[in-house]
Amino acid sequence: MFETLSKGFRAARHRLAGVTELTEENIDQALRDVRLSLLEADVELGVTKRFLARVKEKMVGQVVQTVVKTKDKKIKVGPAERFIAACEEELTAMMAYDGPAIEFAPGSRPTGIMMVGLQGSGKTTSSGKLARLLEKEYKKKPLLVAADVARPGAIEQLQVLGERLNIPVFAIPGGDPLEICKQGFAEAKRLKRDVVIYDTAGRLSIDEALMAELDHIKEAVKPENTFLVVDAMIGQDSVKTAQAFHERLGLSGVILTKLDGDARGGAAISMREATGAPVKFVGMG
């Protein structure tokens, strides 16, 4: 994604090279280069349009300083540099997040992390990775809860991951997902585990049955964190998917998986702009 965006910014910079004044015409030409790079990176069309409109609003009619004083010397700043800086500022403003990666519960209550998303997005693998991160980096004692009874092999997959990581897994094969999560929370308290990760079911596409199930689980266990796990290859569907989960569940953040594959990764920008939910983690491998 960053390579694709950099290519567009370089093209815009070259187009503005030698220009002494920014006008609506030459700004539009430079914005076209950025637009192509954003769309090529799989940033959703509506998000791209809004981003470009904000950059254009910043730049049109602005008097561009040609010399900037620093402590040691004066540096020439042309319209090309100012345009790129405006794009960078806008991207930074879109993606910036100052809060913690994980919200922890106060007192002795185990912290809840609910993993949601479509089937095949990498929820189960990400649950294991997150459990390992919590144990190694945060010095926590997580419990994995296998609440996906719909996908064949999902429970076994989580149990294998738990065994490899030496992290306990709570499961009731063939049980009701809501009851599994309730009992999983009680088991965490019994075992004195301080974080519970709920690996919930997904579907090939969003439907009411899935959303109702997730809604009931969230209402029952009241997790401090609700993470949408999204395959980086989701592309233009990212906004629709993220908005549907966010409107129903209120997402705390996004985990973007398989970012080291052929994915363009523009979904990160699209989902952040559309829902306000920050990208908390990215998965590699």
* 141-157 per-position pLDDT tens digit: 999 999 999 998 999 99
Instruction: Please provide the average confidence, as pLDDT, over all residues in the chain.
Output: 89
pLDDT at 78: 76
* 216-231 per-position pLDDT tens digit: 999 999 999 999 999 9
pLDDT at 74: 56
pLDDT at 69: 57
Q: Which residues, including other chains, have CB under 8 Å from residue 121's CB and lie 6 or more apart?
A: 202, 229, 230, 231, 234, 257
Per-residue pLDDT, averaged over 96-109, amounts to 93
Which parts of 41-141 fold into alpha helices (H)? 45-59, 79-95, 123-136
Residue 44: helix, strand or coil by DSSP? coil
If one compares 118 and 64, the residue with the highest pLDDT of the two is 118
Nearest residue to 110 via CA among 137, 148, 138, 143: 143
Task: Please state, in angstroms and rounded to a whole number, the distance separating the CA atoms of residues 81 and 118.
Answer: 41
Please give the share of the chain, as a percent, with pLDDT higher than 70.
92
pLDDT class for 20, splitting at 50, 70, 90? confident
* Per-residue pLDDT at 262 exceeds 70: no
pTM of the model: 0.89
Q: How many CB atoms lie within 10 A of CB 54?
A: 16
* Per-residue pLDDT at 67 exceeds 80: no
